[in-house]
Amino acid sequence: MKKVITYGTFDLLHWGHINLLSRAKELGDYLIVAISTDEFNDIKNKKAYHSFENRKMILEAIKYVDEVIPEEDWEQKVQDVIDHDVDVFVMGDDWKGKFDFLEDHCEVVYLPRTVGISTTKIKKDMLKVNNG
Catalytic residue numbers, as ranges: 44, 46
Note whether 106 and 88 are within 8 A (CB).
Answer: yes
Query: How many Å apart are CA 4 and CA 85, to the nearest integer?
Result: 9
Q: How far apart are the first and last CA of the chain?
A: 51
Query: CA 125, 128, 132 angle in degrees (round to 5)?
Result: 145
